[in-house]
Structure 1
């Protein structure tokens, strides 16, 4: 009864893999580095027509795409892990709000900024402007989330959820953690707690080493 995750180091599959690690469910990763080349994206097409990770194949053979959907589904399938407030919990509305906000307002920007030629062709000046504007938009959106949340130890209070895993990974991407801490300092402290979870120490080192460009500023 093993889950299969199609994903890549440092990618959107990492929060899914982190959740499975905390749940304690057996899983294996099929590595397809879609951010590396068109060839890798073509390899992904049979598993997801959007040619992107993550993809989860359940032990029953069902295919689920979209990182937020996978995280929500896993939290519902494994309530014993306590990785989401259940229906009826007063925190549930804000949990769902921010689980939708991250992919809709932030994650979606990377399809544009990672390969700006998708929208502007070979216009070098336009590509530079897209890079600048998308980074500004991402930072602004983190600032919006910062202003609209009241974190405790974690985003929703004292309990770790898949929302914290999601935020901790996506905030590692550009404009990188230094900028993230500038616009969202309280969320930044939550991210550091997630980075330091003993249960994920070996996992982070293997699947998203926090070093080099991705090192958290002191």
Structure 2
């Protein structure tokens, strides 16, 4: 039995959230990055383990496969509860934690499946441009609605960092980018800036999702 997690992903993609989680937990993992210049469904190493051709895909030390970002994060926080990266059952913050952990992959994440290859749902460049514009607006609206309903402390659920903060921090860097996120989600803006500056994640961000010039959009 291989005692190390094996994570399929790519720099800056959803797998970065899982990498940040494993880093904070101090858990070793091996990376299998997608081939450069090809779509996920064209990388046979990924499709062999996940026919949906989506990342992240995490092979557990037992050899079992776990997919879906929220499921991976919830499973990791239960298996490594000592890391304190999630309110556990019985914690008053648990209900809102589960709510928002389901909200991001339910309402926001699917927009990127459309945006990555808009021809999946549209025919012709003009139609594709409409989809790109409308999905960007939908993402911004979802962040706005979430921001209106949370009452952050240092972090979204209070004063304790959780995988929810990591989830929002990474996904908010995608389209329509951080400047738009700051404008529509001002309460969460300070949270993601704090996670950006988390010393324990400095090396990971530099390697896997660097703050290059113009990164905020």
Contact in 2 for aligned 1:7/1:33 (Cα 8 Å):
no
Match of 1:32 in 2: 34
Cα separation, partners in 2 of 1:208 and 1:38, compared to 1, 3 Å: closer
- SS of structure 2 residue aligned to 1:73: helix
Unaligned runs of 5+ in 2: none
Cα separation, partners in 2 of 1:34 and 1:126, compared to 1, 3 Å: farther
Match of 2:49 in 1: 47
> Any residues of structure 2 matched to 1:1-218 within 5 Å, and which?
1-33=3-35, 36-37=38-39, 40-121=42-123, 123-213=124-214, 215-216=215-216
| Count of residue correspondences | 215
Q: Distance in 2 between the 1:111 and 1:176 partners?
A: 16
Select between 25-34 and 110-119 the one with higher mean Cα deviation: 25-34
Contact in 2 for aligned 1:34/1:51 (Cα 8 Å):
no
Contact in 1 for aligned 2:40/2:46 (Cα 8 Å):
no
Q: Distance in 1 between the 2:157 and 2:105 partners?
A: 18
Q: Distance in 2 between the 1:25 and 1:80 partners?
A: 12
Contact in 2 for aligned 1:180/1:188 (Cα 8 Å):
yes
Q: Distance in 1 between the 2:163 and 2:41 partners?
A: 31
State the shift of 1:39 in Å. Answer: 6.2
- 1:90-124 CA deviation, whole Å, 9 max, x = no partner? 10000000000001100110001121100113x11
Q: Distance in 1 between the 2:37 and 2:194 partners?
A: 28
Cα separation, partners in 2 of 1:140 and 1:33, compared to 1, 3 Å: farther
In the superposition, the TM-score normalised over structure 2's length comes to 0.95
- 1:10-63 CA deviation, whole Å, 9 max, x = no partner? 000001010000000111111015884266444421111110110011111110
Unaligned runs of 5+ in 1: none
Contact in 1 for aligned 2:41/2:47 (Cα 8 Å):
no
Cα separation, partners in 2 of 1:33 and 1:110, compared to 1, 3 Å: farther
- SS of structure 1 residue aligned to 2:121: helix
Cα separation, partners in 2 of 1:41 and 1:118, compared to 1, 3 Å: farther
Q: C-alpha root-mean-square deviation of aligned residues, in Å?
A: 1.5
